[in-house]
Structure 1
Amino acid sequence: MKFVAVLYPGPTERHVDHSGLELLGSTEGALGLAKMLEAEGHELVVLSDRDRAREHLVDADAFITTPFWPTYLSADDLRGARRLRLVLTAGVGSDHVDTDTAVELGITVAEVTGSNVVSVAEHAVMQLLTLVRNYIPAYQQVVDGRWDIADIAAGSHDIEDKTVGIIGMGQIGQRIALRLKGFDVKVLYNTKHRRSTTQEAVFGARFKHLDDLVAQSDAIVLSCPLTAETKGLFDEQRLRSMRPGSWLVNIARGQIVDTDALVDVLESGHLGGYAGDVWYPQPAPADHPWRTMPGHAMTPHVSGTTLEAQQRYAAGIQDSVRRFLDGEPIQEDYVVAQPS
């Protein structure tokens, strides 16, 4: 069988890490698949060039990509892959795959559910604190050789006693809420299916309808999946309905926030800042307007690919590949879409 894995390139600089954990999510690590597949006579093609990957997709039996360096598989891409039976995402989030067409063609789409939820939740809290404490301008002063305390203090706040709204209370949203409890903030949440009273007590969060959450929150964290309902959810109208000076963190998907509207709202000074780990498209082009908009604390979708997360999602990919080779079903909670 032929397996094609499209992963982000290996590091351009030498890094020293004493944890003993391997860099598995890049092309050089290959998710730990090389020895297993090659020992059994299967072909593994590992590359970072997504255009070249489509050449190999034509005769691939399984295709592996990641949310951090995604290959967008359209209906035409899938229809041209005559042998393809499995698409795996090394991580969480398979919105880069046309799942309806995949099911129609008998292709299973799966991802490693839960593999990086801890990593993403920690990143969300970090980005929230980065905005609230005005960290990026303070760091930039150090780099630039400045020492203007007032300039930073004028936009720096305590997070204690603030109201934080979380949109999306899945595994990541729940962990964000739990991590915020120690900061003595008031947590509101909105999600498609309201949690039980017991769960709300554990998370320390109260359910609110979306418009009420937006109006009452000093900061909002987006941790909901990208769907037809959430695409463009934070358009200009909703962005401007947020409290003046409030902060927005997006560790969900870039398309949930309107690209140009966000730039306009930040340039007008209505929001206190925006931190995101997700973009559209990904990788973001060099001229993407979010790179240069004011008041941002962006990262290049690294939240879910810590060394620890890589061990988890690589193990999930290895398990799924093993099951595929043995003719066994993929772990049920990994399956995003499959033929009936």
Structure 2
Amino acid sequence: MPARVVCLSPYSKKQVEDLFAGRHAVDVVTVPDPPAPEAVRQECSVADLVIADKRHAHRLPREVLEQMTRCLLIQMPAVGYDVIDHVAAAGFGIAVANAAGYNRDAVADWTVMAILNLLRRGSWGDRRLREGGWPRPEMMGRELGALTVGIVGLGNVGSALANRLLAFGSRVLYADIVERSFAGVERVPIEQLLALANIVCIHVPLNEETHHLIDTEALSRMQKGAYLINASRGPVVDERALIAALESAHLGGAGLDVFEQEPTPADNPLRRMENVFFSPHVGGATLEAEARVVEVVRDNLMRVLDGEEPSNVVNGVRLGARLRR
């Protein structure tokens, strides 16, 4: 009997079928664009494997998971997996896996781009020139190699960013709950990092512990004129507190690829601020990263169908005897 694969991401049925070509017979089902909670519940209740939503729109809460009695693996084709109640999934024996590291270089590149845009007022100057101006005096900038950069979270992306920053000559600090062995990078408590860094880059997962990790108190610890870069998840930063810190000129600027609400509302005050560089959650969107994530999804789904334990499991589930041998 073919395994039933339900895809919540914006891949076509043929794209998913092609992942298994020549190896396994599968019955692939896609769901309508979000919001479609009833379709998600109905289709996932009879799924053996689920490809979760890379857009973080279709959610898999406890009430859906408890009906997924056949499901072995939920594979997230992204790094963040907060739209899945992975703790509840563990209770039901469902493995949840992510695509850790697939876009590390893409996000690290985006972060450097955001930093340089802020330090050299790149996008600001481009806009002024297009309006007919010649803002040469206003574009006096800073050299990245002369500054201290603090990285909050030295995981896959944070490590890739640190390599790039060291090449610029920056002093690089990091704060992480796990001590990392990384030559040239200094571990300090987050409070010290916030106080010492000219630029603070956030690269942590979103969970209960990191929600609003960067709040009013954290922002007040940062140097006056410092820059905040967030390319992790929007709710890690208290957006209201960030807006206040920018409006008061305590911060010199911010680079944001993520927001508390996505798409961010048209009347979000951040949209009007000339010292904010932002993009619509595309830090990891490169052709190379997309090719890698498809490989990660294919390989992990194939492992389960081949009777092997999946990789990158984030909720500690081992499938054991449930696997088809």
- 1:87 maps onto 2:74 in alignment: yes
**Cα separation, partners in 2 of 1:36 and 1:228, compared to 1, 3 Å:** closer
> Aligned AA for 2:253?
G
Distance 2:301 2:198 in 1: 44
Aligned to 1:267: 247
CA offset digits 1:233-286 (Å, max 9, x no partner)? 111121122111110111122111002111111112111111122223444454
- 1:73 maps onto 2:60 in alignment: yes
Number of residues of Structure 1 aligned to a counterpart in Structure 2? 312
Distance 1:76 1:173 in 2: 35
CA contact (8 A) 2:124 2:274 kept: no
**Cα separation, partners in 2 of 1:287 and 1:89, compared to 1, 3 Å:** farther
What displacement does 1:51 show?
Answer: 2.3
1:276-291 matched pairs, under 5 angstroms: 276-291=256-271
* Structure 2 unaligned regions, length at least 5: 319-325
What displacement does 1:152 show?
Answer: 3.4
Distance 2:96 2:268 in 1: 30
> Aligned AA for 1:152?
M
Distance 2:62 2:265 in 1: 24
Is the deviation greater in 109-118 or in 288-297? 288-297
What displacement does 1:338 show?
Answer: 4.0
The correspondence for 2:16, drawn from 33, 44, 48, is 33
Aligned to 2:175: 190
Partner SS state of residue 33, structure 1: helix
- 1:306 maps onto 2:317 in alignment: no
- For normalisation by structure 2, the TM-score amounts to 0.87
What displacement does 1:176 show?
Answer: 0.8
- For normalisation by structure 1, the TM-score amounts to 0.83
Distance 1:67 1:289 in 2: 27
CA contact (8 A) 1:107 1:338 kept: no
Distance 1:56 1:237 in 2: 44
CA offset digits 1:168-223 (Å, max 9, x no partner)? 11121111111111212111111112234xx3x2xx21111111111111101111
Partner SS state of residue 160, structure 2: helix
Distance 1:316 1:219 in 2: 33
Distance 1:118 1:64 in 2: 23
Aligned to 2:121: 134
* Structure 1 unaligned regions, length at least 5: 9-26
1:48-127 matched pairs, under 5 angstroms: 49-52=33-36, 53-54=39-40, 55-127=42-114
What displacement does 1:76 show?
Answer: 2.0
Partner SS state of residue 145, structure 2: coil
Aligned to 2:322: none
Distance 1:261 1:313 in 2: 34
CA contact (8 A) 1:31 1:317 kept: no
Distance 2:53 2:113 in 1: 23
Distance 2:130 2:29 in 1: 42
Aligned to 2:323: none
Distance 1:69 1:150 in 2: 43
Aligned to 1:160: 145
RMSD of equivalent CA atoms: 2.4
1:193-272 matched pairs, under 5 angstroms: 193-196=178-181, 199=182, 201=183, 204-272=184-252
> Aligned AA for 1:3?
V
**Cα separation, partners in 2 of 1:147 and 1:230, compared to 1, 3 Å:** same
Distance 2:35 2:131 in 1: 39
- 1:169 maps onto 2:169 in alignment: no
